[in-house]
Amino acid sequence: STINHYSHRNYIEQKKYIDAERQRISSEMHDEIGAGLSAIKLFSEVASKNRKDVDEIRQINVMINEMADKINEIIWSTNAESDNLESLFDFIEGQSRKLFEHSSITFTASMPNDIPDVIITSQIRRNNYLLIKEVVHNALKHSKATTVHLGISISNGLVIYSIKDNGIGFDPNVTKINAMGLSNIKLRIERLKGSLIIENYKGTGILIKIPLEGMIMKFEKKRFGWIFPEKETRR
């Protein structure tokens, strides 16, 4: 109908405006704040090398690195061009690998070969990323492992995250609910309508399954044999 056509066109126009504004904010943060923070980081690193005996300089350098990572996360989550599964998986893998750069733990990752070309919201992206970040950070901080593997796959309409380490393991029935961020992990999984399995055998294995249908904002069919149906407009 004419009304439905107008509503759809109005929605598209509003989305284009919002995406353009998100892109502008993301670009300005990258160009202005990101560049300034990089300069401060450079001076801090030089000062740390020249005055290794001053602990405060080292602490400042650590704080700047942490702030730079947080700014990078905000820029990524704000950028409308990142509203897709490939960007989500790449960012999760890259940031997870970065966590282990200065540790003795060997980090490996495996990604899916075929990634559906679909659009997901920035909030869904952020919830997925923060969920896996917390799990991986727990492995780094608590597992006492020598190896950690992150696997991401897509099967039967599910995004599957597998995080496996060869550390000391833990009993989720004994561990306090607030310890190791379990409460936050479970809350994020509930928001994504997913499921969680924790196994303790030669380390800790965490399996998280998220329904892909609930992540997708716009349904598109490219070269894949399956597709989720769009909601029909009532007439």
Q: CA 186 → CA 156, 177, 183, 196, distances in Å?
A: 22, 10, 5, 8
Residue in the structure block whose two tokens are 């998100």: 22
Predicted confidence at residue 235, as pLDDT, reads 36
Predicted confidence at residue 180, as pLDDT, reads 56
Q: CA 163 → CA 76, 167, 203, distances in Å?
A: 23, 12, 11
CB-based contact 160:153 (threshold 8 Å): yes
The angle that helices 35-50 and 55-78 make with each other, rounded to 10 degrees, is 160
Residue-level pLDDT, tens digit, the chain, 235 residues: 554 544 556 655 665 656 666 666 666 565 666 666 667 777 777 777 777 666 777 778 778 778 878 888 888 888 888 899 999 999 999 999 999 988 999 999 999 999 998 888 888 999 999 999 999 999 998 889 999 999 999 999 999 999 999 998 876 665 554 555 788 899 999 999 999 999 887 889 999 999 998 888 744 434 343 344 344 333 3
Rounded Cα distance, 37 and 40, in Å: 5
Q: How does pLDDT run across 158-171, given as a tens digit for each residue?
A: 999 999 999 988 76
- Report domain extents, the chain: 1-82, 84-222
Beta bridge partners of 206: 163, 198
Q: Phi and psi at residue 160, in whole multiples of 5°?
A: -115, 120
Rounded Cα distance, 97 and 129, in Å: 13
Our separate counts of H helices and E strands in the chain read: 6, 7
pTM beyond 0.85: no
Residue in the structure block whose two tokens are 């030669």: 202
3-state secondary structure 153-195: EEECCEEEEEEEECCCCCCCCCCCCCHHHHHHHHHHHHHCCCE
* Segments in 29-100 forming alpha helices (H): 35-50, 55-78, 85-99
Q: How does pLDDT run across 201-232, given as a tens digit for each residue?
A: 788 999 999 999 888 874 443 434 334 434 43
Pairing status of strand 119-120 against strand 216-218: antiparallel
Nearest residue to 69 via CA among 111, 108, 102, 47: 102
Looking at 3.30.565.10, 2.40.10.10, 3.40.50.10470, 3.20.20.70, the CATH number of the domain 84-222 comes to 3.30.565.10
Predicted confidence at residue 170, as pLDDT, reads 72
Tell me the two tokens of residue 192.
């994504």
